[in-house]
Amino acid sequence: MGHTLIEKIIGNKVGKEVKPGDIVTVDVDWCMIDDIMIPFAVQKFEEMGFTKVWDPDKVVLIYDHFLPATQTDDSRHFRAGDEFAEKYGLKNVHRTDGICHQLMTEAGYVKPGDIAFGTDSHTVTYGCVGAFSTGIGYTEMAGILGTGKLWIKVPESIKVVVDGKLPENVTSKDVILRVIGDLTASGATYQSIEFCGSTIDDMSVAARMTMSNMAVEAGAKCGVFAPDEKTAEYCGIEYTDKEKSLRADEDAVYTRVLTYKAEELVPVMACPSLVDNIKPVSEVKGTKVDQVFLGSCTNGRLEDLQKAASILKGKKVAPYVKMIVTPASRKIYREALADGTLEILSDAGAIITTPGCGLCCGRGGGILSDGEAVVATNNRNFLGRMGTSKVQIYLASPATAAATAIAGEITEA
């Protein structure tokens, strides 16, 4: 019996063949703690009696949710992180560089075949480079900080195959929203979603990041892509036999296989207030909006900003509509500034903010009030996430978001 991609990644790490349901203890390659969880992880670490971090060079602290601070207690989280880093010799501390899930691959940490954990559910994002990564709680993180190890159960796998060429106005965001709609929000619970097919092969690493990022919205433990030459270039490594071996066997066993023809896919949205409430944009067309948000660890990358700019160029955001643009990292911000993307967005009337999580987690600027509607490119539309519980949140691609900003109502690009 062959092995799925996630079985190979975990099996390579523990040095033996594994199968779904096996409980194994793994040596952790990387752990990431975001600013929300830093003080709680530190407290648990000390309660457990640890006196040193197992490997300070494999720990990454990232301040992203609370920057810039919007509540008086936020600074406590920054102080806790700084004090912990100084006490235990942590050097990998990012204070204003961008969103944690963007930085963990962009800054050169996670590579193909790695096992990484983070104190945020969207840690699944690193599956875009062929790594096993998933979110954990701060108690588990404290254990990793002290030992460098964590037990995991080998997950079953769902295979998602997409073949063909996507229509011009359909992006990887539309693909993953369609998949989530078909699986439902709990349809992949504690399973790995493995993406493959000619459409996937043609995608950039940035586009794949969008899909692995949202795998957790179907309940998945991880969302993975087999590494290829694009992955190696992005990660700054050679594409060797090690990376080439990280792909599923032909006779691998899956709990379910979903197959899509790219040409048949259309722009879709997750409608209020569930991520799996998926409808074609054409069915929601004409819905008035008050705000558009372009950003987050799902769609705040350079190609996302460029796609929006190509639609907004020479046009204006509709009157009484606020468009907020938040690049996923400082690097992306600078690249978008250098190539004129931010100028186009600014000329169209967009508000451009510092890199970070911002509106996605209901922090930063842009929260909404009763009866308002927002089209956003992030990953969750739960009640109360971007303001009051009476805010209507629609999730869409950067293309749909940009077209909506111009029209002042939901529309296709």
What is 148-190 written as a DSSP string? SEEEEEPPEEEEEEEES---TT--HHHHHHHHHHHH-TTTTTT
Name which CATH class applies to 5-9+21-153: alpha beta
| Predicted pLDDT at 97 | 97
CATH superfamily of 156-264: Aconitase, domain 3 (3.30.499.10)
259 Cβ contact list (under 8 Å, min separation 6): 161, 162, 163
Per the CB < 8 A criterion, the answer to whether 391 and 290 are in contact is: no
| Number of Cβ within a 10 Å radius of residue 87 | 11
pLDDT < 70 regions, the chain = none
What pLDDT score does 376 carry?
A: 98
DSSP letter at 396 equals -
Rounded to whole angstroms, how far apart are CA atoms 179 and 395?
14
Residues 287-313: tens digit of each pLDDT = 999 999 999 999 999 999 999 999 999
Amino acid found at 271: C
| pTM listed for this prediction | 0.97
Query: Hey, which CATH number is domain 269-407, 3.20.20.210, 3.40.50.300, 3.40.50.1980, 3.30.499.10?
Result: 3.30.499.10
Do 278 and 271 touch, CB atoms closer than 8 A? yes
CATH 3.30.499.10 maps onto the chain at 5-9+21-153, 156-264, 269-407
